[in-house]
Amino acid sequence: MHILKSRPWNLPESSATPEALVFGRRQAMALGAGMLAAGPALAQQAGLPPAMRNTRYAPGRAITAEREVTTYNNFYEFGSHKTISAAAQRMPLRPWTVKVEGMVEAPREYGIEDLLSRMPLEERVYRLRCVEAWAMVVPWTGFPLSALLAEVKPLSSARYVVFQTATLPSVMPGLRQSWYPWPYTEGCTIAEAGNELSFMVVGAYGKLLLPQNGGPLRFHQPWKYGFKAGKSLVTIRLTDQRPVSFWEKIQAQEYGFWANVNPAVPHPRWSQAQERMLGTGESVPTQLFNGYGEFVADLYTGLQRERLWA
């Protein structure tokens, strides 16, 4: 006699997953595997148009792990500590507009999608040196600031470019400190802005720029200390007045207008001779102009009387 004995792991026929769901899941997994295999396709899926790497700016160092760059951040509107990435996720990056205004022939307001489609995107692997003596190497995606300026046509009287970060009190706890001179403002000369290294960043590691890294649009001049790079920009203004930046208003003796990297000029409270690489913790010598002297040293001819290094 054949006896059917139920085992604990036996399931009734009614518990079986329908065939359509099983095959749908397999198709979804196959699609996911295909996207992982094709980097550019994945980037396109994430909203960032594909961008070729510009090899002219080889950093001479290994790229920092993405996880380090996206979890160790300075963004004062979200706090003074390095783990602001979770809080920054509350910042909505769409819709997003940036005004380019002031001393230009054709002031404009761009939607971020408009910028992504209009501008000549490329990837550049730049070193970034923080004034706090740590450093990283990041594959940024973006476009030269000069390309944007060419569209708005600066007037000949424009001497400076000013960058302003968004002020979103509902998601930025730092703005509760009403005594600070918000919005976060930074600036550079029109000559520095026109330098080929000056880069408007919309992505990193082949993906759209994350909020904690200054998404959807930030600025980067790799020969200057990192605080000069305005994040989450909403206004770019051309002017004939030298701007007084956010940190300059608070602690001018520590954070000046020029802030070019120089290992021989210490910060008032620490040396700038070495930098700690994010991720590896390796300590390496800091280079003058963060190693970009061949591109930018000429900008400062005749400016020896300025405080160029802090």
Partner 1 sequence: MRLIGPVLLALAAGLYLGFGSDPLGALLFRLDPGLLNLLQAVTQRYLLPMLWDDVLLPVLEAPAWIAPAVLGGVLTLLGWMRARG
Among residues 250 and 284, whose Cβ is nearest to partner 1? 250
Which residue in the set 10, 55, 80, 170 belongs to the binding site for partner 1 (CB under 8 A)? 80
Among residues 176 and 305, whose Cβ is nearest to partner 1? 176
> Binders of partner 1 among 239-278, rule CB under 8 A?
249-251, 254
> Binders of partner 1 among 170-199, rule CB under 8 A?
173, 176-180
Regarding 81 and contact with partner 1 (CB under 8 A), the answer is yes
Regarding 68 and contact with partner 1 (CB under 8 A), the answer is no
CA-wise closest residue to 201 among 281, 259, 135, 138: 138
Among residues 122 and 254, whose Cβ is nearest to partner 1? 254
Question: How many residues interact with partner 1 (rule CB under 8 A)?
Answer: 15
Part of the chain binding partner 1 (CB under 8 A), chosen from 11-19, 73-81, 201-209, 213-221: 73-81
What distance in Å separates the CA atoms of residue 82 and residue 22, rounded to the nearest whole number? 43
What distance in Å separates the CA atoms of residue 24 and residue 32, rounded to the nearest whole number? 12
Q: Residue 50 Cβ, how far from partner 1 at the closest point, in Å?
A: 38
Beta-bridge partners for 137: 127
Q: Which two tokens stand for residue 249?
A: 């208003």
Regarding 90 and contact with partner 1 (CB under 8 A), the answer is no
Among residues 45 and 251, whose Cβ is nearest to partner 1? 251
> Binders of partner 1 among 120-179, rule CB under 8 A?
173, 176-179
Among residues 2 and 81, whose Cβ is nearest to partner 1? 81
Part of the chain binding partner 1 (CB under 8 A), chosen from 17-25, 81-89, 111-119, 283-291: 81-89
C-alpha dihedral sign at 187, 183, 228, 137: negative
Judging by DSSP bridges, how do beta strands 199-204 and 207-208 pair with one another? Answer: antiparallel
Beta-bridge partners for 239: 160
Among residues 49 and 173, whose Cβ is nearest to partner 1? 173
Among residues 101 and 254, whose Cβ is nearest to partner 1? 254
216 Cβ contact list (under 8 Å, min separation 6): 93, 94, 96, 112, 202, 208, 209, 232
Cβ neighbours around 8 below 10 Å, total: 4
* 46, 122 Cβ separation under 8 angstroms: no
Q: Residue 167 Cβ, how far from partner 1 at the closest point, in Å?
A: 17
What distance in Å separates the CA atoms of residue 192 and residue 259, rounded to the nearest whole number? 12
Q: What values do phi and psi take at 57, rounded to 5?
A: -110, 45
Footprint of partner 1 on this chain (CB under 8 A)?
Answer: 79-83, 173, 176-180, 249-251, 254
